[in-house]
Structure 1
């Protein structure tokens, strides 16, 4: 079964995505209530029964709703978060403490690989944002019997980036990356100057232009043709337009990687489900190479000639009456 990724919601009104592989479903952020998340899961052809863990990027309300905790407790779904998130999550009420008492709160550390399920590894990546301990993630997932390693990366809610982050996001099959705002629309928005300064600052959000620059650096550090899908995340409702975000990405990709498909995630409806792993003729690249090797091996097999007189014996046997 291919690895599947779906953005259930993306924007300041709430964020959540579903990553599924090897029968394990991971909900990345829970910025909607459990009922609305259930509806989004259903619209994406899934359900809460396919969610086996929740992984938090940070504790802002558009990424983690307090109402989700009781639902996780009732379903015994573990919550993965950073140790620095605990104080913030405790302010949501006593239910977080109940999750901890039941052993349903699991931790992750910056840069340290987290094994979520067999063949399903996550590496947390620290991001600059005005929230306690904000992270993106790189996922590496074993795919099939032929040694393929699929990779996905998720990075939203970051105000700036460096070369270390670009390196960590390189060589992935799918990149989900924040394209939050258009700088001109942000500056002319009429918002409070303090809010504009926050959004444009190093601890705010990536503009379309800054995201495109990060994408360029990622591509320069990636194997040619590796990236297949770019999913644009966390567009501002007031200070961006899907067309502007897509144009910024496609202008960059036209010269470096025109094969990359661009999708802009929305706030009020799920994205398409991106299936990774089964590509051409239902085979992964490694599987195709293995089949080609077998075919070339078969074509080079030398058959031993038959002994003298055996051709006549075989022909006679084929026409012999059955007993």
Structure 2
């Protein structure tokens, strides 16, 4: 079986990504209600009851809102690092001990022919981390919720066949918007979220010969728009010599509609 994925939902209202390979199927985050997650899974022909596990990136509510109910109702194993487990302790309700597994930062877990590699990001959470999936020479890299993309992060995700990449905000929209300055400062900081332009600059350093698809993720509802994000990223990448739509294509994600289940 090929490595396949769908961005079920992405944005400040909730995040979840479905990944499958080699007879294993996983969610990365469960940031919507269990009911919503089930409906989104059904749209791509999948069921919450068939999940092999859920990998948690960090404890913010838009990433774990449905985690506790999903764990209890569907008896699904949950994977997170120790600091994230501690931070989630009062947020998810009780999760049975035999469903709680540790997946520490900068480690690899293997499920059949699928290798999942965790790496740290820069965000205002206990110990945020994201994941790279490897299967049969194919590579899927997921990176959102980071204030910047370090050289170390770039090394982890470089030359993926497909990226789900944060493109959170347009800086001008954010600065001119209605958010309190304290919130604007947090978003713009090194532990906030990357802008369209900064995301594209990071992409220009990690796109490789094998890269064909980039999904722009975690767009701000108030400080970004799909068309603006895509245009900004495309312009920046083209200024770096990439021909978008030729070998590399950009794709939108959505807060309430999943992307089609796609092979990496």
User: How many aligned positions are there?
Assistant: 260
SS class of match (1:159): coil
Measure, in 2, the Cα distance between the counterparts of 1:47 and 1:248.
36
Which has the higher relative contact order, 1 or 2, with Cα contacts under 8 A spaced 6 or more apart? 2
Q: 1:227 to 1:180 in 2, by over 3 A?
A: same
Compute the RMSD of aligned alpha carbons. Answer: 1.4
In structure 1, the partner of 2:34 is 34
Shift of 1:232: 0.7
* Conserved 8 A contact 2:34-2:69: no
What is aligned with 2:242? 256
CA contact (8 A) 1:140 1:151 kept: yes
**Secondary structure at 1:2's aligned position in 2?**
coil
Alignment of 1:95 with 2:90, yes or no, is no
Partners of 1:110 and 1:124 within 8 A in 2: yes
Distance 1:140 1:166 in 2: 16
String of CA shifts for 1:256-310, please: whole Å, max 9, x gaps: 253111111011111122213xxxxxxxxxxxxxxxxxxxxxxxxxxxxxxxxxx
CA distance 1:166–1:70, change in 2 (3 Å): same
C-alpha displacement at 1:171, in angstroms? Answer: 1.6
* 3-state secondary structure, aligned to 1:40: helix
The answer to whether the Cα contact below 8 Å between 2:64 and 2:92 also exists between their aligned partners in 1 is: no
Q: Is the contact between residue 70 and residue 95 of structure 1 (CA under 8 Å) also seen in structure 2?
A: no
The alpha carbon displacement at 1:85 in A equals: 1.2
User: 5+ unaligned residues in a row in structure 1: which ranges?
Assistant: 143-148, 277-323
Question: 3-state DSSP class of the match of 2:141?
Answer: strand
Q: CA deviation at 1:118?
A: 0.8
Q: Distance in 2 between matches of 1:199 and 1:50?
A: 36
SS of the residue aligned with 2:61? coil
Cα distance, 1:44–1:114 mapped onto 2, change above 3 Å: same
For 1:156, the equivalent position in structure 2 comes to 144
TM-score, length-scaled by structure 1: 0.78
Q: 1:118 to 1:44 in 2, by over 3 A?
A: same
Q: State the partner residue of 1:141.
A: 135
* Residue 75 of structure 2: aligned partner: 76
Match of 1:196 in 2: 184
SS of 1:172's partner is coil
Contact 2:57 2:128 in 1 (8 A): yes
* Corresponding residue SS for 1:62: helix
- Inter-partner Cα distance in structure 2 for 1:68 and 1:109: 18
Native 8 Å contact 1:253 1:260 kept in 2: no
- Aligned to 1:139, the other structure's residue is in SS state strand
* Alignment CA distance shift 1:93-1:156 (3 Å): closer
SS of the residue 1:63 aligns to: helix
Match status 1:229 vs 2:213: yes
Alignment of 1:267-286 (within 5 A): 267-276=255-264
Q: Secondary structure at the match of 1:69?
A: helix
In the alignment, does 2:17 pair up with 1:17? yes
Measure, in 1, the Cα distance between the counterparts of 2:253 and 2:92: 31
Q: Post-superposition, which runs of at least 4 consecutive aligned residues in structure 1 deviate over 4 A?
A: none
1:105 aligned to which of 100, 103, 106: 100
Question: How many angstroms does 1:231 deviate by?
Answer: 0.6
* Contact kept in structure 2, 1:10 and 1:233, CA below 8 Å: yes
What's the secondary structure of 1:19's corresponding residue? strand
